[in-house]
Amino acid sequence: MTATLQDEARWKAQYQIWEAKRSVDEAISRLQSAIGHFQTAGQLEQAKACLPVINGLTAQSIALDGQSKRLDGEEGE
């Protein structure tokens, strides 16, 4: 693959990662908001039920950050 094709492939991969991370981070934000509404309404069990999902999404967001850094060459190989 030529440098230009490699750059294009890297850019496309970066964009896909960015899109995925944006979606994951938006889902986290919405769940955090939902937890606040549940707590305000006294529905603590529903609020607690969201926590494992937020934890999983946070882990996914961190993993996507790592992938992005590897593509940028910021981390060791």
pLDDT at residue number 1: 57
pLDDT at residue number 74: 60
State the SS3 of 4-72.
HHHHHHHHHHHHHHHHHHHHHHHHHHHHHHHHHHHHHCCCHHHHHHHHHHHHHHHHHHHHHHHHHHHHH
pLDDT at residue number 61: 97
Q: What six digits make up the tokens of 64?
A: 């996507």
pLDDT at residue number 76: 44
- Residues in the chain, pLDDT under 50: 75-77
Q: What six digits make up the tokens of 30?
A: 């919405």
Please state, in angstroms and rounded to a whole number, the distance separating the CA atoms of residues 68 and 55. Answer: 20
